[in-house]
Amino acid sequence: MMTREELIGMLGAPFSDSETDRELFAEAVRVRNRAVGDQVYLRGLIELSNRCRKNCLYCGIRNGNSAAERYTLTDGQVLAAAEYAWRSGYGSVVIQAGERTDGVFVERIERLVRQIKTLSDGELGITLSLGEQERETYRRWFGAGAHRYLLRIEASSPELYARLHPADHRYEKRLECLGWLKEEGYQVGTGVMIGLPYQSVEDLADDLLFFRNLDIDMCGMGPYIEFPGTPLAEAPCAFARDERLRLALRMIALLRLLMPDINIASTTALHALHPQGRELGIAAGANVMMPNLTPAVVRANYKLYDNKPLQDMDLRGFNVALDSGWGDSRHFSVRTAGAPVSALREK
Ligand code: 5AD
Ligand code: SF4
């Protein structure tokens, strides 16, 4: 088992030391293949809306960015994307949007989840990534058929979290939401940004230990990329962009060693920094990719960071799983073994 000091040592190794990285990534791939197999699962990503009530200091679609052109997909567009995913053999879709908590929104999501379940004869798995909500809302969406939820902690250090968010965004609230999601029966995913201003390799090592302590089922993390005009964009960053890419790959590999049986996504932000970024993520131990199914007409508006790639990835050379299973986190079945079946949903 790796200690905090060992993690710090690996994360802080000189970037000129590519041999150590090669060995680390190869070991992570071996561990992944033993624990969860060598297939890569696909999730169809549907970016429902870029309207958001929050004001995270790094984000291109923060509420305060009046230059962002706002959109919300129609029900027809969402259902068409989900139907496309189902007909193309994807096991599941991810519905992502900026944070909204009004009753109209909550009801709409509940309805869409039910409709996606119906159109796919119950076969499409549904992951939600819709921010902090009331516990009752999480319960309703789970009741409608969603079974996984992604809510990044963004930075597991409360001090760092506070420097990345306005004062009314609360770290404790986010933790509380992660706890509720687990208690409501979801497979829970979280993650952080890598290479942030004010962030050290010690912080990143602590992020990895945070994931293990929280006993998460899934993780999505990617390099931080400045979005011009956001408050954080001017803050000095300890790591150049190519260093953030390497750091992100090290984080993926080390997390795979720490938690062999979880699902780890190779994220779009990796691709924004390198044309083969997501492929490199898989080669460092990730096992999930999320091709974007958002209709092309609005895709350019879902800009969390600069230079977000709009085209999809090249999956040749990967053992990509396009089976009808949901590609559940193996960790989830292990963690919940013995729990009352009524509280769980897996396939
Ligand atoms: N750089 C990288 N990732 C970002 N996100 C938001 N803004 C940025 C940025 N500038 C990430 C956050 C959020 C996810 C949807 O996108 O981690 O949780
Ligand atoms: Fe909203 Fe998420 Fe961007 Fe924060 S990171 S402003 S919650 S979309």
The ipTM value here is 0.99
Distance CA 46, CA 81 (A): 7
Residue with CA closest to ligand 1 atom 7: 59
Tell me what percent of the residues of the chain surpass a pLDDT of 70.
91
Mean pLDDT, residues 51-55 taken together: 98
Q: Please indicate if the annotation marks 174 as binding a ligand.
A: yes
302-337 pLDDT, tens digit each = 877 776 665 555 555 666 665 556 788 888 888 887
Closest CA to 320 of 288, 277, 276: 288
Q: Please indicate if the annotation marks 219 as binding a ligand.
A: no
> Tell me, what's the pLDDT at 328?
84
Residue 227 CB–ligand 1 contact under 6 Å: yes
| Domains of the chain, start order | 4-334 (3.20.20.70)
Between 308 and 86, residue with greater pLDDT: 86
DSSP code of 313? P
Q: Please indicate if the annotation marks 154 as binding a ligand.
A: yes
Mean pLDDT, residues 47-55 taken together: 97
Phi, psi of 288, rounded to the nearest 5 degrees: -135, 135
123-152 pLDDT, tens digit each = 999 999 999 999 999 999 999 999 999 999
Q: Which ligand is nearest to the CA of 96?
A: 1
Residue 225 CB–ligand 1 contact under 6 Å: yes
55 Cα nearest atom in ligand 2:
6
Residue 294: CA count within 13 A, CB half-sphere: 25
> Tell me, what's the pLDDT at 307?
64
203-242 pLDDT, tens digit each = 999 999 999 999 999 999 999 999 999 999 999 999 999 9
151 Cα nearest atom in ligand 1:
18
Between 268 and 114, residue with greater pLDDT: 114
Closest CA to 279 of 242, 320, 241, 239: 320
Closest CA to 194 of 147, 149, 244: 244
> Tell me, what's the pLDDT at 342?
42
> Which of 55, 56, 59, 270 for a ligand 1 pocket mutation test, highest count of atoms within 8 Å of Cβ?
59
Q: Which ligand is nearest to the CA of 227?
A: 1
Residue with CA closest to ligand 2 atom 4: 56
Residue 269 CB–ligand 1 contact under 6 Å: yes
Residue 285's Cβ-count burial label (10 Å; 0-12, 13-18, 19+) is: buried
| Position 341 pLDDT exceeds 60 | no
CA of 83 to the centre of ligand 1 (A): 27
> Tell me, what's the pLDDT at 321?
61
> Tell me, what's the pLDDT at 89?
84
> Which of 43, 52, 55, 58 for a ligand 1 pocket mutation test, highest count of atoms within 8 Å of Cβ?
58
Question: What angle is formed at CA 320 by the lines to CA 181 and CA 19, rounded to 5 degrees?
Answer: 90
Name the average pLDDT for the chain: 91
Distance CA 258, CA 285 (A): 11
Closest CA to 286 of 120, 38, 74, 24: 38
> Tell me, what's the pLDDT at 227?
96
Structural Rg of the chain based on CA atoms: 19
